[in-house]
Chain A
Amino acid sequence: MTVYVLPEKFLAKEQFTPSPFLEVEISNSEINLGESFRVGTVSENIGEYGDIHIVSVAFPSLSKIDDIVRIVSYDFSNSPIYIVVGDKIGANYSGGLESVIAEYPTIEAMNRPTHPGTKYVMDLQVTPKIPGPFVVYVKSIDIPHTSSQSHYPQEGKMDHQGEYVLAYTINVNP
């Protein structure tokens, strides 16, 4: 019974598909050098129960985060992870089976597990140190990553991990 009947019953059951949704608010599209802008993220699992909910904010304009980026609000269950240039990181939504080397720094927020309907907040304050365009990439991924529904956005620009991101550019005037 346990070997032949029940496994079929359990295999027939659909696996949970968590699905992230992300809202990003950038406080300014233009600032003067020395001023700060905020990156506000509110994310949610709008799908089914999942194991991990991730929000990732990357800074292609930087080589190091240092004191340029500060977390001002954070309510995820796990501490933020700071990915530095040269770190080995997962790629192509493979959960670590495929990997690449990080080309720019990233802050990764993680909540384990993730129940549907729960909202997560991470706000960052960014104070660029050089003038010019300052780029921010934001994305969210839920694990298990079962289909394209398990990441947000589902199209657009791709980052160094081969994963879709929402891209924002803030002009920093000299």
Chain B
Amino acid sequence: MVIKQKYIGNLLTANSKKIFLAGSVLASFGILLVTVGGSWDITNHLLNKPETFFSPPHALMYSGVAVSLIGAVVSIIGYRKMKDAKFVFRLPLRLTFFGIFLLVGAGPFDFVWHSNFGLDGLLSPPHLTLISGMLFCSLGGMFGIVRFLKFNAPRKILNYLLVLGILPVWLAGSGIISSLSLPFSNTDYFEFNPDPSLAFVVATLAYPFLISLICITSAILSGFRPGMISIVGGLFLLIYGFTAIVPNFAMIESVEFYFMNFIPFAIADLIVSSKKTKFSLFVSGGILGSVFYMTYYPYVMYTYNEVLLGKLVSPSMIYHTYFELMLQVIQFTTIPSIIMGVFAVMISFRFSNAIKMEN
């Protein structure tokens, strides 16, 4: 019995970093489920106005929380068995646990909120807690994955785990920006809708910044591997397409339009992986930033409608209003969005260095 325990202990110690990686992967995968469920939940609220806490999107979200919680526990098992390089994984572990603390707390908080105030909006204290938890936990997962890949020179195929690490960060970051810019937060009890003009500015600056930051960071972290931006961007479009467009019967035909957004991601990918210069990164960052209004179709329309049209838009009117606004939005946002895309490239270098512990 003692020998068996010792054997297991040695095995855990020998594989501690792989165990930590498994924990990070689970944490990231869990957040991916939460974010997919979150996007689906927004659509569900818009189309069906569910009246109870117990809905399929909520089930997916809280399953994701459970997976992330398991990931956090696995991460700490790996971390405690590590003999060396503990400092490398300390920050990822802390980020994951802080995120999990917020996520787990957000569940009962959300339930109590629903019970007392009925249907809540997109931006509410429990939702903000949940989304912040998603962001911290996904950052922890991504840091863990990237640092394992950097310091353990694994098989090439494992490099694609980077996609799993970075995608939830993008989706969680999008969740925060959407909460602060979409007019979906007024309820019978509270008026949490952001000021329309402020929301306009937030969306115009933050969405392009985030798209460029995520895509360029993924390119840098992968060593400018061809296809990385296309995979990350393509998966993002796939997730948004299936959670925000496909469930809405009135928007099915616009799927064709939405998936054409893959083209700018592929172009940015081609430029970055073929040139690998700072200038090529800035060009790609500008391209990626400039397509934010298309990438965040359909709901970004609501933010701009508040200021530019002020129309009452029910779900089946979304795409008409979206395309009606398109040229006007592009006129107002093209220059700032390109600037934010380029600015994000500069931040991407620092961000990548921080993740990889390079100066």
Contact = CB atoms under 8 A, between A and B. Distances in A.
A77 interface: yes
Interface stretch (B4-12, B46-54, B129-137, B220-228): B46-54
Given A10-B254, A16-B250, A49-B250, A113 B315 contact: yes
Interface string A62-82: 000000000000000111000
B253 A3 contact: no
Nearest to A16: B316
A93 B85 CA distance: 67
Identify whether the interface residues of B are mostly helix, strand, loop, or mixed.
helix
B317 A144 contact: yes
Interface in B234-277: 249-250, 253-254, 257, 260-261
A15 B323 CA distance: 13
A11 B316 contact: no
B49 A7 contact: no
Contact of B312 (A7, A96, A113): A96
A53 B260 CA distance: 34
Contact of B320 (A2, A10, A113): A10
Contacts of A1: 260
A51 B248 CA distance: 10
A2 B257 contact: yes
Interface stretch (B21-29, B167-175, B324-332): B324-332
B207 interface: no
Contacts of A3: 326-327, 330
Contact of A113 (B48, B254, B319): B48
B40 to A, nearest CB: 16
Contact of B47 (A2, A113, A143): A113
Given A1-B260, A95-B314, A96-B312, A15 B320 contact: yes
B77 interface: no
A52 interface: yes
Contacts of A157: none
A2 B294 contact: yes
Contacts of A52: 314
Interface of B: 47-49, 51, 249-250, 253-254, 257, 260-261, 294, 312, 314-317, 319-320, 323-324, 326-327, 330
Interface of A: 1-3, 6-7, 10-11, 13, 15-16, 49-52, 77-79, 94-97, 112-113, 115, 143-144
7 residue pairs, one from A and one from B, having the closest CB atoms: A7-B323, A51-B314, A10-B323, A95-B312, A144-B314, A6-B257, A51-B315
